[in-house]
Amino acid sequence: MRYTRLPASVFEANRARLSALLPEGALAIVSANDVMPTNADGTMGFIQNSDLYYLTGVDQEETVLVLFPSARDPKKRAMLFVRETSELLAIWDGARLTKEVARDVSGITSVYWTNELDRQLRDALFEADTIYLNLNEHLRSGSEVQSRERRFIDDIRRDYPLHPLKRLAPMLYGLRMVKSPEELEAIREATRTTEAGFRRLLSFVKPGVQEFEVEAEMIHEYLRRRSRGFSFPPIVASGKNACVLHYLENNATCQGGDLLLLDCAAEYANYHSDMTRTIPVNGKFTERQRAVYEAVLRVLKFTITQLRPGTLPKDVQKAVEKQMENELIGLGLVKEEERATDEYFEDGKGKPAFRKYFMHGVSHQIGIDVHDVNLPWEPLAPNMIVTVEPGIYIREEGLAVRLEDLIIIGETENENLMATVPIEADDIEALMSAQ
């Protein structure tokens, strides 16, 4: 792996917090993701189950964690099962973790090969009263692919029909929303790499450059700084392409007079950054482009002031929508008489005019996942980290601006992880003219 492992103490602390929430007699099980197939004999690159990584630090397939805090035998209170390595496996795919290395990575003393899971689990469940099982319950998850965890749930229901099953996700989501100092530092490192990639682009972008060439410049910078790569498929969208929120083709030519929207970021140690910047291809904003850009920037700065402990994300969204509506009226995109009704802001009724130009949420949690897990009814709290990403999309003009920073919620004041990433229009123009 390219990154330096986080210390085992991080994962020990995460398990301790989860163990404290589990009731007496409860046993929790978290399993690794599958290695997903492509075609013929191909497979995708392995991506670990975020919850398992959060609790163990193990970034390897066929891994299972069993937590049983109230077990009589201390050896059964945390058991880690990892795929058995072999000389043949090492020749073809590289050696997997030994038991000794797995202990060092996770801080778990009781490490077994995965083929020992059934026997060890049967012994533990003879004593346990309740089984807590994990599943991806993210509100935006819509995958139809049956996961390893889903199959595991079916196996448990068949083999242990008298044990009541409970949901582990709400506990884990609440824990993962608040980041430890080590987690925040991993995201800072991912953001430092993201900034380096963006600064590299400011001296590269010019009329005639292909969107995919811009993407190549970024990945070059990310990899040389020990990132595993992009946090998510990068959006490099010039001109009218930027009006497509999830534009991924990245195959157009950047034209002079157009804007280039960049929604790209690096990851580090399985923690992600997320950044959006919009720059003029020829290095100079037109009067109209600058007016739209400054409006979005004002909304971004306003949003950051709304992110305070105790505030609900939905209330932040409402406040931002009102602010954005004012900006759209000032730009002549929405008429004064088209302002959203009080009913819309109170209960979401109606389809306000501003939605034509600003149609998405302004913020999301970030961490091991780019759109990290969250409990939407939980207010913001210190050491949560969220994005701020307002945008204006004017399809009839082929013009779009989106800007995005990362904010750590603080007790008295927030920390903007992208405070040094150029964002003021004058700064962007100055840096691009210096190429």
- The beta strand positions in 336-423, using DSSP E, are 385-388, 391-394, 399-402, 405-408, 415-416
CA atoms within 13 Å, Cβ hemisphere of 402: 32
327 labelled catalytic: no
CB 245 within 8 A of CB 360: yes
Say which of 360, 395, 397, 424 is annotated catalytic. Answer: 360
Say which of 215, 327, 369, 389 is annotated catalytic. Answer: 389
d(CA 205, CA 209): 6
246 labelled catalytic: yes
CB 34 within 8 A of CB 151: no
Say which of 189, 369, 371, 405 is annotated catalytic. Answer: 371
393 labelled catalytic: yes
**Distance, C-alpha 353 to centroid of its chain:** 30
CB 368 within 8 A of CB 344: no
- Please state, as a whole number, how many other Cβ atoms lie within 10 Å of the Cβ of residue 158: 8
The token duo for 32 is 């690794």
**Distance, C-alpha 307 to centroid of its chain:** 18
d(CA 236, CA 227): 19
Residue 415 makes CB contacts below 8 A (sequence gap 6+) with: 407, 408
d(CA 283, CA 432): 5
Say which of 41, 87, 396, 413 is annotated catalytic. Answer: 41
Say which of 274, 325, 327, 429 is annotated catalytic. Answer: 274
What residues form DSSP beta bridges with 392? 401
Residue linked to tokens 């399993």: 31
Say which of 77, 176, 272, 402 is annotated catalytic. Answer: 402
138 labelled catalytic: no
Say which of 51, 61, 195, 263 is annotated catalytic. Answer: 263
Say which of 62, 217, 393, 405 is annotated catalytic. Answer: 393
Alpha carbon distances (Å) from 143 to 118, 146, 150, 174: 28, 8, 12, 22
321 labelled catalytic: no
360 labelled catalytic: yes
Say which of 15, 364, 405, 429 is annotated catalytic. Answer: 364
Say which of 246, 337, 347, 396 is annotated catalytic. Answer: 246
**Distance, C-alpha 221 to centroid of its chain:** 20
Please name which of 262, 255, 191, 210 lies closest in space to residue 233, comparing C-alpha atoms.
Answer: 262
Say which of 211, 327, 369, 404 is annotated catalytic. Answer: 404
Q: Give the single-character DSSP code of 266.
A: B
Burial 10-26 (b: 16+ CB within 10 A, else e): bbbebbebbbebbeeeb
364 labelled catalytic: yes
d(CA 273, CA 115): 36
Catalytic positions are 41, 246, 263, 274, 360, 364, 371, 389, 393, 402, 404
